[in-house]
Amino acid sequence: LYACVRPVRWFSGVPCPVKQPEKFNIVIFRENTEDVYAGIEFEQGTPEQKKVYDFLTKEMGKKFRADSGIGIKPISITGTKRLVRMAIQYAIDRKKPSVTLVHKGNIQKFTEGAFRDWGYEVAVSEFRDRVVTETEVYDRHQGKTPAGRVLVKDRIADQTFQQMLLRPDEYSVLATPNLNGDYLSDAAAAQVGGLGIAPGANIGDGVAVFEATHGTAPKYTGKDMVNPGSLILSGVMMLEHLGWQEAADLTVRALERTIQDKTVTYDLERQMAGAKKLKTSEFAKAIVENMSVSSGRKTPAAV
């Protein structure tokens, strides 16, 4: 499950802090197994930390404080290329205009800089007739992406945060190392209404798990009040993954209609003037009822 895939888009009616949320429709491919999240750490003051410190300072000539905790940031050719390969194939299959490699290669040259370089290698060696790099666009195509090609470009991570706010419609698919992807996906979700409607999937070769992105909230257990939107939309991703596009589209239309009707759970109700607060179960029932409206069929509950 090496790719954490998080689509982030605005659903009509959802309150959000930006002026033109309809311009935001980005899918983030976050590498799921490497980077500082690999958990290779050595606690300050332990024999293991001293051994690593001595090796780095005495054998490798690196200088840093002896009282440091130490973490290792692995980013591999294998991990990078399979993630970027999936992101590019996704863009091709869904006719997305671009894939952006997001990194801090200006500082971390041999990890995130390598991620950028290996990402471009995948693009030009495996998808040569389907992609064009940003450099090629300006050098060979007068600044315009040729028809039928996916534009592959790269951006520094901190610049990407700014661009998502100012020019979100210039980005469609992001491919990024683990830590950047974690930050970017949550920040992106905030722009379109929060984690309550942010789905996610962990995808590998032949295996996939679909889950809400917001984690657990034990204090709400059994209270029938939280927003199930993230989990429902993760189910939509599962349907799309299985090729059940009609069912996926029906679910999205019904969810969006329910929100537009201002019949929502407490987290959205408190931000929407004139909204009606529903329990989790009531919100789910409203979505099911709106499925019948969208499909033109009566649901069993409506008979």
Q: Are residues 94 and 183 in the same domain?
A: yes
Residue where a domain stops, chosen among 193, 215, 237: 215
Domain assignment present for 154: yes
Band (pLDDT 50/70/90 cuts) for residue 301 is: very low
The DSSP call for residue 155 is E
Task: Give the total number of structural domains in the chain.
Answer: 2
Q: Are residues 132 and 108 in the same domain?
A: yes
Q: Are residues 204 and 253 in the same domain?
A: no
Average pLDDT in the 211-240 region?
Answer: 92
Q: Give the residue among 184, 156, 193 at the shortest CA–CA distance from 18.
A: 193
* Residue 236 confidence (pLDDT) above 90: yes
* 34 or 213, greater pLDDT: 34
Domain assignment present for 130: yes
Burial of 47 (0-12, 13-18, 19+ CB in 10 A): exposed
Residue found under tokens 């029932």: 285
Residue found under tokens 């939280």: 226
Q: Are residues 163 and 230 in the same domain?
A: no
Residue where a domain stops, chosen among 182, 200, 215: 215
The model's pLDDT over 95-150, given as tens digits with 9 standing for 90+, comes to 999 999 999 999 999 999 999 999 999 999 999 999 999 999 999 999 999 999 99
Domain membership of residue 278 as a residue range: 218-303
Domain assignment present for 144: yes
Active site residues: 37, 104, 158, 182
Q: Are residues 168 and 293 in the same domain?
A: no
Domain assignment present for 24: yes
Q: Are residues 142 and 181 in the same domain?
A: yes
Q: Are residues 14 and 125 in the same domain?
A: yes
Q: What is the CATH number of the domain that holds 139?
A: 3.40.718.10
Rounded distance, CA 276 to CA 282, Å? Answer: 11
Band (pLDDT 50/70/90 cuts) for residue 295 is: low
Q: Are residues 123 and 153 in the same domain?
A: yes
* 193 or 247, greater pLDDT: 247
Q: Are residues 107 and 206 in the same domain?
A: yes
Domain assignment present for 141: yes
Give the sign of the dihedral formed by CA 48, CA 49, CA 52, CA 58.
Answer: negative
Domain assignment present for 277: yes
Rounded distance, CA 274 to CA 262, Å? Answer: 7
Other beta carbons within 10 angstroms of residue 145's beta carbon come to 17
**Do 33 and 2 form a contact (C-beta atoms < 8 A)?**
yes
Domain assignment present for 252: yes
Residue where a domain stops, chosen among 167, 182, 215: 215
**Do 8 and 24 form a contact (C-beta atoms < 8 A)?**
yes
Query: What is the percent of the chain where pLDDT is above 70?
Result: 97
Phi, psi of 125 (to 5 degrees): -90, -30
Q: Are residues 20 and 90 in the same domain?
A: yes
